[in-house]
Amino acid sequence: MNKSIKLLTVCLTALLFTFTAIAQDKAKKIDQLLSKYNEYGQFNGSALVSENGKVIFKKGYGSANMEWNIQNQPDTKFRLGSISKQFTAFLLVKLAEDGKLKLDVPISTYLPDYPKANGDKITIHHLLTHTSGIPNYTSAPNFFKEKSRNPYSPEEFVKTFSSLPLEFTPGEKFNYSNSGYFLLGYIIEKVSGKTYEQYLQETILTPLKMVNTGYDHSDVILKNRAAGYEKQGKKIVNSAYLDMSLPYAAGSLYSTVEDLYLWDQALYTTKLLSPKSMESLFKPYISTGGNDSYGYGWFLEEAPNGEKAKLKIIEHGGGINGFNTIISRVPADKNLVVLLNNTGGTILSEMNESIRAILYYQPFNEPKKSLAVELLNVYTEEGAVAGTALYNKLKKDPTYGIKEADINRVGYVLLQSGKKKEAIEAFKINVENFPKSGNVYDSLGEAYLADGNKNLAIANYTKSVELDPKNEAGKKVLAEISK
């Protein structure tokens, strides 16, 4: 071997060693971050991070099954919730590429029994981009109480919302709707002649060898499936039963962090779709607010990266009884973060942003204990005065964090359990800490209305709409109670 070759070999070896050391350092920091979130009761699940297309970290935290103390692992299966939508969107684009349907024609073309008054106005494109105006069935009053445990065929369930008035003219604006993606699954079945589950398996899962992904069925014995739990303050309970025929094409899939890495990698190829069709998935079709937009089954955003740089992020979250999930991609660098959690809603977006900061050598906030968890226990067991007194004490403690979504969740748990005065106090905490958020005033207005205080309800709904002119639900309630 001559000197030049020897020198090149030494340089390459040193470079490889450096890259490996850097990846190991980042993995260590990610582990420390997620371990702290786990210690504080804010993450119980599995995580995977890849950089430049290579997995640098994967690990499970907490329990997949708390009764048997079985630990979460990278191959633990979690329900995905709305991450399922990106698979449904992919299937529609595939059918369009194969010439079996068109995305810009009325849905009545493929669903002749759908009420024509709406079916002739709405296109598949509208459904894919949440711009159809169809009311979101999971937001319907008493959905979880009256319907969520009952099995439905796709045809039967479509009839429960197909004749409802549209909330706006199709294409006019973005309004997230599970109903639209449920309809997309039904269209897939009508056009392909196969069940949604069969077409998904044949088109995506089998070709990509995603053997740990599929349509979840409660009655099937599924190896390594995580149980779903919900947190009630410091207490953890089994999540409520949900018949999986209802999330359907909007949210019924399960997967692992490892399989979602395979999915991520396939999206950089033309193995299943042409470049033009693949590109159509990630176009910013409609603004969702600020600099964010929506493609086909994906949220698109620009995130800051240092003083000047911007990162283009493609991601989606999911939430379903007992589970909370996120998949976040930076295509320019082939970076990926997947977090799957089985203790209900938690702050995965915050964790995702911190992990991204680690990947790009940016500063991030250290995890903090949840003030909301402490407050819920005291408000529930000791009442409004004791809960507010605890808040005034702990808000000065730097080890605790106050997060809008967490406090809002506390307020609604209290409201739904009949503790109206306590709910009002919780929502007032959010108003104090997040005075520029229209959502906190909306929630407080709802609590005052439930407690019979119409004047304060009007005042808070008015403030909410003033801060958030897009709050159509708030405008509707305000109009009704102001008569």
* Length reported for the chain: 483
Strand segments (E) across 365-476? 369-370, 400-401
Same domain, 383 and 336: no
Cα distance between residue 180 and residue 182, in whole Å: 5
**DSSP bridge pairs for 314:** 300, 329
Question: What's the angle, vertex CA 77, arms to CA 82 and CA 259, rounded to 5?
Answer: 75
Residue 437 lies in a domain: yes
Residue 146 lies in a domain: yes
Buried b (16+ CB within 10 A) or exposed e, 134-145: bbbbbeeeeeee
Same domain, 314 and 400: no
- At 336 the pLDDT is 98
Cα distance between residue 224 and residue 75, in whole Å: 7
- At 140 the pLDDT is 86
Cα distance between residue 12 and residue 8, in whole Å: 6
CB 268 within 8 A of CB 276: no
Domain that holds residue 323: 81-359
- At 21 the pLDDT is 81
Same domain, 347 and 241: yes
How many domains would you assign to the chain?
2
| N-term to C-term CA, the chain | 90
Same domain, 264 and 373: no
State the CATH number of the domain containing residue 400.
1.25.40.10
Q: φ, ψ for residue 175 (rounded to 5)?
A: -150, 105
Residue 60 lies in a domain: no
Same domain, 288 and 172: yes
Residue 433 lies in a domain: yes
**DSSP bridge pairs for 319:** 324
Radius of gyration of the chain (CA): 24
Same domain, 132 and 196: yes
Same domain, 402 and 340: no
Residue 28 lies in a domain: no
Residue 374 lies in a domain: yes
**Backbone dihedral region for residue 461 (phi beyond 0: left; psi -120 to 50: alpha; all else: beta):** alpha
- Give every residue of the chain whose pLDDT is below 50, as ranges: none
Please identify, among 359, 390, 416, the residue that sits at the C-terminal boundary of a domain. 359
Residue 408 lies in a domain: yes
Cα distance between residue 207 and residue 197, in whole Å: 15
Residue 61 lies in a domain: no
Same domain, 354 and 393: no
**DSSP bridge pairs for 105:** none
Same domain, 313 and 197: yes
* Greatest alpha-carbon span in the chain: 91
Please identify, among 331, 359, 387, the residue that sits at the C-terminal boundary of a domain. 359
Please identify, among 335, 359, 383, the residue that sits at the C-terminal boundary of a domain. 359
Same domain, 136 and 176: yes
CB 111 within 8 A of CB 186: yes
State the CATH number of the domain containing residue 150.
3.40.710.10
- At 307 the pLDDT is 58
Treating both helix axes as pointing N-terminal to C-terminal, what angle do 438-450 and 420-433 enclose, rounded to 10 degrees?
Answer: 160
Same domain, 434 and 288: no
Same domain, 155 and 229: yes
CB 202 within 8 A of CB 194: yes
Cα distance between residue 299 and residue 294, in whole Å: 5
